[in-house]
Amino acid sequence: MLEIQERFDTFGYEKLSDLVGSVQLHITEAVDKGEVIGYIAYSYENDRTVVYDYDAGGDLLLCDGLVRSVIFKSCLKGISKAEYRLDDKEKYSDLRRLSFLEGDSTTAEDLDRFMNGCKDCKHSEE
């Protein structure tokens, strides 16, 4: 069974931790049958959540779940923006396909609206 779990250390992610510097790096992993099959690395900075990297193994649905988990936690903290600072520029295409980003932007401005957008879609179908 797939689980999305936040780690409380960066063990195994030292290269990424060194790359982002002195920020408090958070790691959330996708775990299936005890095996890590994906992750997302991010931090909370004042008015925004910054995503530094993710790996979903090419699985678009897994990418969606990892990013949504971080957006949800950001909304709970009252954070309304997400900024993506990804070294691998190819990963931005998945974020745009999933509507996390629009156009050439690397920032999502209204996370609450995004998360509540699915509710509107459901009502419009009825």
Task: Report the CATH number that the domain containing residue 54 is assigned in CATH.
Answer: 3.40.630.30
Question: Token pair for residue 91?
Answer: 């990963």
pTM over 0.75: yes
Q: For residue 2, what is the enclosing H or E element?
A: strand 2-6
- Token pair, residue 8, equals 């409380």
**Domain hosting residue 75, numbered range:** 2-125
Q: Cα–Cα distance between 90 and 117 in angstroms, integer?
A: 26
Tokens 């790996």 belong to which residue? 55
Write down the pLDDT at residue 126: 46
Q: Give the SS3 label for residue 111.
A: helix
- Count of domains observed in the chain: 1
Token representation of residue 102: 């629009």
Question: In the β-sheet with 26-32, what is the strand arrangement from edge to edge?
Answer: 2-6, 26-32, 35-45, 48-55, 81-84, 107-108
- Please identify every stretch of the chain with a pLDDT value under 50, giving residue numbers as ranges: 122-126
How high is the pLDDT of residue 21?
86
